[in-house]
Chains A and B, each alone.
Chain A
Amino acid sequence: MEAIGERINGQFLDVKKAIKDCDAQVIKDHAINQTKAGAAWLDINTGTAAAEPEDAMKWLVTTVQEACNTPIALDSQKLPVVKAGLEVVRRDVPLMLNSVSADPEKLDEWFPLAKEYDAAIVCLTMDKDGISQDVNRRIENCTTIVGKALEYEIGLDKIYIDPVVLPISVGQNQPQMIFEVLGQLPQLFGPEIASTCGLSNISNGCAERPLINRIMLTMLAAHGMKSAIVDVYDKDLMDAWITADLLQNKMIYNDSYLDSARQ
């Protein structure tokens, strides 16, 4: 179980306001509290509203890394914003870049950076034509990604395939396709290849958000998903994830297994 905490994101109003006011405490609290709640990584996203996203990214990265040693994920599809984060990032803490699409020319821009910083990198199974409705096309995109990773000599344990979760209210056939892609990843590319997704998007616009998130996460886990960007403050969600790990024999049962997993 590898939870990527989603909370340091300018789309949340408190974070948006903190960025605007340079209120470091709000960001530090989220860094520390998400770590305590089980985040293995902290996602950092300036949001779309930041006036100067590069400066905002630098400030967020510095602020988070003053507060804790938790690995961070620089979340932007804009390369200049990610590069701004890289300028100030601590080199003694694991790093993730989030995210790049499966277009070869994009991968050629992003992978050298991942290599240079020994960073994990989230790679979307979508390309410039969008998200294909065909599982084979998505797998083809994975092949493009893996081919480029080999070219740049990036270990597949650093490649986090993101099969792109869409709201269930928009596409009810999507989860099944995601499960199929996940099932094929280790068969095609070996067990070390990683995977992740932005979980909360599954319930965007829905009434039963926590329930949908929770069930989706356990189904993803059952299909081999290795990590997910989630609300780590959702205790029921994290409990469900720990339990999914237990049911997959990834940990040894004891009556207090929820506490033990959180140690």
Chain B
Amino acid sequence: MAQVPDVKESFSTQVHTLTIGAAADEGGTRSHKLTVGGAKVTPFAHFDGDAGAKPVCALEVQNRDPVDWPDAVREPWKDVLTDPVAWAKKCVDEHGAELLCLKLAGCDPDNEDLGPGDAAATVKSVLEAVKVPLIVLGCGNHEKDNAVFEKVSEAGKGERLLLGFAEAENYKKLVALCQADGHALIALAPLDIALGKQLAQEISNLEFPMDRVASFQTTGALGYGMEYTYSIQERQRLAALGGDKMMMTAVLATIGHEAWRAKEARLPESEAPELGPEAVRGPMWEAMTGVSLLMAGTDILICRHPDAFKAMRSFIDKMQG
């Protein structure tokens, strides 16, 4: 019989590992830490080599009632939407979340304009109520986020939070805070790999280690530019495996946030009977966005609907048990 040629693809470099959360042995109070990244091959190509750590899913919690969320995604959380601590506990106790993402949307001056002290108190309460590693996202207003993160970073000192976002026009403050308090950060460059690489370079110039950075290109939802996110992540992974040190960071995607902006997810069945029940359709839209991006190299997914979260975890286990 003819010899079957070895067609394994091998690469000389790998994606950096990124660790979120610190347990008692490292001075934190988390029950465990989570490590992602480390792949030496393209996503899930474990037949080629070391596929690295499994991607992880976080459930999203906000410090305000997210009145802009459609009913289909409010429904599973309806009893806890006004209480971030109860919401966090529900994520962990009922849905088995190993990672949470607390989005401080309530600090937005256009929303409730909650102050830095309020935000830090919420972070502290959540850290006390649940013991899983925590991602904390700002509200998106740079000035406000800088003030909020000063307090939040201090409140979570030693817990190795993952904080976001560092952006081209506003990254120095967050880098300094993460350096001082031992956190990791998310570098955000919207759908532009050249800007993403430049931001990584500038963060690296501040001597912040690349294995404490997750990159975030913003996420196009299925039907709304997902292919742009996909091709950026694909290029990033190939560049990382080809030795580009600024492209070796782990990758994050906010699938819940994006998918639930799509009208195909949002529209109630009463307005679009041909699309079927939104309680099924919406989570599926979120999950399909997530599955696609996992194939492109996403390491951390932030989910909203528990059904999408469950589907993502089951898919990841099947792909990389």
Contacts and interface: CB of A to CB of B under 8 A. Distances in A.
Partners in one complex: yes
Interface residues of A, number: 10
B213 to A, nearest CB: 14
A252 B245 contact: no
A101 to B, nearest CB: 30
Interface in B112-132: none
Contacts of A252: 193-194, 197, 235-236, 239, 244, 247
A212 B166 CA distance: 44
A100 to B, nearest CB: 26
B278 to A, nearest CB: 39
B198 A251 contact: no
Interface string A87-118: 00000000000000000000000000000000
Main secondary structure of the interface of A (DSSP, over half): loop
Interface string A224-263: 0000000000000000000000000001111111011001
A139 to B, nearest CB: 26
B244 to A, nearest CB: 6
Nearest to A256: B201
Contact of A254 (B205, B235, B236, B246): B246
A252 B215 CA distance: 15
Nearest to B189: A254
A63 to B, nearest CB: 28
B195 interface: yes
B194 A260 contact: no
B239 A259 contact: no
Contacts of B247: 252
A168 B239 CA distance: 37
A257 B246 CA distance: 10
A259 B194 contact: no
B198 to A, nearest CB: 4
Given A251-B244, A252-B239, A254-B246, A263 B198 contact: no
B194 A263 contact: no
A263 B202 CA distance: 12
Contact of A260 (B195, B197, B236): B197
Contacts of A260: 197, 201, 244-246
B212 to A, nearest CB: 16
B203 to A, nearest CB: 12
Contacts of A253: 194, 197
Interface in B239-257: 239, 244-247
A211 B277 CA distance: 69
B239 A251 contact: yes
Nearest to B238: A252
Contacts of B202: 256
B35 interface: no
Nearest to B204: A263
Interface in B210-253: 235-236, 239, 244-247
B202 to A, nearest CB: 7
A255 B198 contact: yes
A251, A254, A256, A263, most chain B CB atoms within 10 A: A254
Given A252-B194, A256-B201, A256-B202, A263 B245 contact: yes
B84 to A, nearest CB: 37
Contacts of B198: 254-256
A257 B196 CA distance: 12
A36 to B, nearest CB: 15
Contacts of A263: 201, 204, 245-246
Contacts of A259: 201, 205
Contacts of B205: 259
A252, A256, A260, A263, most chain B CB atoms within 10 A: A252
Nearest to B196: A254
A263 B196 CA distance: 16
Contacts of A254: 194-198, 201, 246
B7 to A, nearest CB: 14
Nearest to B235: A252
Interface in B21-72: none
A251 B247 CA distance: 10
Contacts of B195: 254
A255 B246 CA distance: 13
27 contacts: A251-B239, A251-B244, A252-B193, A252-B197, A252-B235, A252-B239, A252-B244, A253-B194, A253-B197, A254-B194, A254-B197, A254-B198, A254-B201, A254-B246, A255-B194, A255-B198, A256-B198, A256-B201, A256-B202, A257-B197, A259-B205, A260-B197, A260-B246, A263-B201, A263-B204, A263-B245, A263-B246
Q: For the complex of A and B, list the 3 residue pairs with the smallest distance between their C-beta atoms, beginning with the closest.
A: A254-B197, A254-B198, A263-B245
Interface of A: 251-257, 259-260, 263
Given A252-B194, A254-B196, A256-B202, 16 more contacts: A251-B244, A252-B236, A252-B239, A252-B244, A253-B197, A254-B195, A254-B197, A254-B246, A255-B194, A257-B197, A259-B201, A259-B205, A260-B244, A260-B245, A263-B201, A263-B204
